[in-house]
Structure 1
């Protein structure tokens, strides 16, 4: 049974090489063709060089003893001319090969990054809450681009080496068949050493992924500007440095043990190969003294054997490299094959241009795939066109999770959500999200221009300057943008040259402008005014309220003063809706909402 499984594993690895070669071909078909032509030239031209030199040596030796040296010299001169032409062709093919290799490696790397990024932005959000996903992603990002280019190089080297070895075998066979056997056998220890090392390095790499991520995390804490203030204020730097160094030392010790064993194996393998070369030298020297071969033959046999040894080593190293790189590329295949729970239907329904009957949550429950508790339990609520709906409650009671389900970043574990009476699962998720604009509490900061930060709300209208400015005015951002050095062309953040940093409140206004810019059917603000003063909060709320006149609007807020004028308020507690109604109705109920409002109102009396 184990033999069968081992055979299946080998077949899978061979098929994986094919997948890698398909990636290479997809990234650069023209360069692949050029490389194929060059490898035949590189594989055969050295043998022609050896043979011409052999003829030159024999002709020179004969010319020394000849009576008409002019004729002999002229013949040698012709051979030297041929040798010079061969040398030029070899140099040209080598230089062209280097140029093609480096160019193709860049294209392959770009293609792999495109595949990685494509999968990363399409992978279900749940993967970003799973440490195993980050380990796989880290290992893939670290290894896949370079390893794919190495597979290409190994395939080229393998083909070139095989072409050369066929020519070498023909020459050595004329001397004695045992030298072909000797050539192959002496390289077996080195190949086994490489295979052993490849397996050990791969296993270690998978084991060290989590440790490397921790080390990278401490490196980020030490070098990123976001933590610079607290590093100094709380004197955290020395401790983070020590933890980083401890982790790097652990990685070094584990790798050093493997390197030491590999050094011993490789040394023994190289010694056996070199001793085989000495044995051939003894044999051909003896035959030369006996007059059985010429000086040119002596030169040819010895250097062809040495060249054959080098090419056999190239072939075996390429095979080992293919094996090793394929092991590492298994992380790439694993990453690209991640299944998706949130899928588009085969025949998706079209999203209506306007929200007609509204959105319904019908007995919706949800538990995160990696969680152990229900985040939402039997949620039933409605969001009507033209309504402003408020979701309130303490942190962690499921308000933001509800919005993630609305955007179909996750699917409910029970119940259903409908849009104009149609289940969200019947829409293409990408098209659905285009109809919703959300500012989450942990909104993104893009270290790009103000214009880009706002226009990311809807890239199709990124060149519409009036629309960008109007969105900024609606969020209250226009005033401070006018005071920036390049106004809407100012780069934000300090990551790049000439960048301008904003306050938290200003960043929040930019994020709200991005949501307004989208002009979506549903607009959601998750704690949209937490960093704004009372005046700015009132202005944003009024603008938000006006936007709800012809679309649906949802606001999540801890500041109950912001939600007093909402058409409907849902109060969440422990993943359930425990109260609902207008502000006055909820105050009269004297429940959770009334107590929360009273506690906040005391601060303003």
Structure 2
């Protein structure tokens, strides 16, 4: 049955497999969350400690001392009120209260200064934490094997780690410091209240529970909703980029895609809007219930204080101090609850970051092994490559031998496995079966970094790096310390030097129109630049996957002349232009992942079969009518 535009069971609108795990978070009890807080705080302190020990000690230590000042100030206030409410002449009351009043003022001023200093240390930690966390993430994303990006869900986990998980690390630490600040304030006032009247302490604790439970429930609901929207938002981002992008503008207009793209965006956006409105309704109901219970608890607290006054169990001065302490406790309690709310939510998102790092670690290449310094022979024996979630292998039982100085051509129709085989040869993938040996040593026993340094790859599916023309070539071997071709030598070899010289700023021209004074190249010009990068790399193995698909005849001729001019390297050539493989030392013809023919051009033409068929089909296009 033909698919229709009304089909709405698309992957980005369906619940992801990991959504059920989020439901477990949503159903976690308040006490379970409270039990998790100590571990979260330890994790947060560890992050802060790694980023800056001095600022961590300052932020937490100064906050604790400020709490001591809070207790001291409240007790001094109680003494002041007791003296003022005592019997005797008014001047005597004031005089008797002056020492306690001085202590209260000094304690308040000191506490304020300490809180400012703690805030300064806390603010200093954020950029240091962001730096450490971001570097750690990108160290992981750039170190994993290429196959990791074929793993189902890896890219989605990476997006979650980048979108919220990474930026929540600093917020996690901030929330922890705020939680400590609020908790210290509550403890400080609780200590003062205990000295004044112990019976008020349990009332204070009971009054705070409704707000705490409400905060956690609201956080869990929001996390689960936002987590379920991740895939939709990725789809929305993709559609938005298509509708507001210079590179897609021409094709969008040529095919009149405006209506289709807007329709898709509206449909997915409506689904997201409905989910967010549902979240608002649920959170409002939760907050309403929480406020109601909190009001009842607060009323009970003041009723208990009034009862103690009526029964004469507490003097008026102590009651007045208790009211001040209770107000401070409420402010500290709100700070602590808000921080705990944010801390729990931040920890959920930061958990995505940690989970991704764990997943990335499982995709890291094996470290160590024999160093590689060139090769004489690369031998593949019955290698097989199968991508995840696919039934048919991309490469199926291929054997071949590459020798230094040879040009090896891989030929076949689209989907025959040429590019996948080239990636195996380059070491970008490991075969699921079979073996690849460099000079008799299995690639599994070779040092992966030194092996990669022997390989250069050019491909038609190139990425346009937003660097200058010179930098686009330099990244071919940015860390070169020994001899090798210069940037201009590599550019000349790729017939790119004259083209680069004609740019507005020559080799210093930024190749991205998204930036001021940026410039762009045509497809063929980019392909020449990428070829220059490969020549600059000066590797022992050069893999050219359709290196001339966008080149004009003159540039194509120049590049292939350059490829044949270096007998000290092995070249693997993939191209649909079979005239370019006639002079290859050995040609492998692939079909559905298998080698169906191999030999040189003359032997393959004499043998007949797929190679001859493809070659003659192309050649017929160049023959004059009637010839």
Match for 2:171 among 130, 141, 150?
A: 150
Equivalent residue for 2:54?
30
Label 1:340 to 1:92 Cα distance change in 2 as closer, same or farther (>3 A). closer
Pick closer, same or farther for the CA change 1:346–1:125 going to 2, 3 Å.
Answer: closer
What residue is the counterpart of 1:449 in the other structure?
468
Residue 564 of structure 1 aligns with which residue? 582
* Corresponding position of 1:173: 194
Q: Out of 384, 388, 393, which is 1:365 matched to?
A: 384
8 Å Cα contact 2:386-2:395 kept in structure 1: yes
Following TM superposition, by how much is the alpha carbon of 1:601 offset from its aligned partner in structure 2, in angstroms? Answer: 1.5
Paired position in structure 1 for 2:398: 379
- 2:216 corresponds in structure 1 to 195
C-alpha separation in 2, matches of 1:360 and 1:465: 27
Name which of 535, 540, 549 aligns with 2:554: 535
Moved more, 286-295 or 368-377: 286-295
Give the direction of change, closer, same or farther, for the CA distance of 1:466–1:419 in structure 2 (3 Å limit): closer
Q: 1:160 to 1:383 in 2, by over 3 A?
A: same
Question: Cα distance, 1:569 vs. partner?
Answer: 1.1
The reply on whether 1:554 has 2:575 as its aligned counterpart is: no
For the Cα contact (< 8 Å) 2:73–2:104, is it kept in 1?
A: yes
* Deviation per residue, 1:345-386 (Å, 9 max, x gap): 4640111x2322x11111111111221111111111111011
1:115-264 paired onto structure 2 within 5 Å: 115-264=136-285
In the alignment, what sits opposite 2:539? 520
Corresponding position: 1:335 with 2:356: yes
Range moving further from structure 2, 37-46 or 301-310: 37-46
Matches within 5 A, 1:454-465: 454-461=473-480
The Cα of 1:31 is off from its aligned counterpart by 1.8
Contact 2:80 2:101 in 1 (8 A): yes
Q: Structure 1 pair 347/365, CA: closer, same or farther in 2 (3 Å)?
A: same
Change (3 A) 1:124 1:586: same
Query: Residues of 2 paired with 1:409 and 1:465: CA distance?
Result: 24
User: Could you report, residue by residue, the CA deviation over 1:187-229 in whole angstroms, capped at 9, with x for unpaired residues?
Assistant: 3233223333333333333322211211111111122222122
**Offset of 1:472 from its aligned partner?**
0.6
Report whether the alignment pairs 1:602 with 2:613: no
Match of residue 98 from structure 1:
119
Q: CA deviation at 1:405?
A: 1.2
CA displacement 1:407-426 (0-9 Å, x = unmatched): 32221111101111111111
84-93 vs 259-268, which deviates more? 84-93
The normalised TM-score by structure 2 is 0.87
> Judging changes above 3 Å, is the alpha-carbon distance between structure 1 residues 384 and 340 closer, same or farther for their aligned structure 2 residues?
farther
5+ residue gaps, structure 2:
1-23
Q: Which residue of 1 is the match for residue 508 of structure 2? A: 489
Judge conservation of contact 1:469–1:478 (CA < 8 Å) in 2.
yes
Displacement, 1:28?
2.4
Change (3 A) 1:569 1:283: closer
Instruction: Write the deviation string for residues 88-141 of structure 1: whole angstroms up to 9, x where unpaired.
Output: 433333333333333312222222222221221122323323452222222221
Q: Secondary structure in 2 aligned to 1:355?
A: coil
User: Closer, same or farther in 2 for the Cα pair 1:170/1:101, shift >3 Å?
Assistant: closer
Could you say which residue in structure 2 is the equivalent of 1:47?
71
For the 8 Å contact 1:345–1:427, the answer to whether it is kept is no
* Contact 2:485–2:536 (8 Å) recurs in 1: no
Distance in 2 between the 1:545 and 1:597 partners?
Answer: 21
Q: Which moved more, 1:242-251 or 1:30-39?
A: 242-251
Q: 1: CA distance between counterparts of 2:349 and 2:187?
A: 31
1:323 partnered with 2:344: yes
Contact 1:187 1:272 in 2 (8 A): no
Match of residue 467 from structure 1:
486
TM-score by length of 1: 0.90
8 Å contact from structure 1 (residues 447, 493) kept in 2: yes
Q: Comparing 71-80 with 245-254, which one deviates more in the overlay?
A: 71-80
Quote how far apart the aligned CAs of 1:295 are: 5.5
Deviation at residue 20 of structure 1 after TM alignment: 4.3
Change in CA separation of 1:124 and 1:12 when aligned onto 2, cut-off 3 Å: farther
Instruction: Report how many aligned residue pairs link the two structures.
Output: 596
Equivalent residues of 1:455, 1:462 under 8 A apart: no
CA deviation string 1:283-312 (max 9, x = no partner) = 556766888766543331012112223333
Distance in 2 of aligned mates of 1:296 and 1:498: 74
Task: Choose 202-211 or 470-479, whichever is displaced more.
Answer: 202-211
Q: CA RMSD in A?
A: 3.0
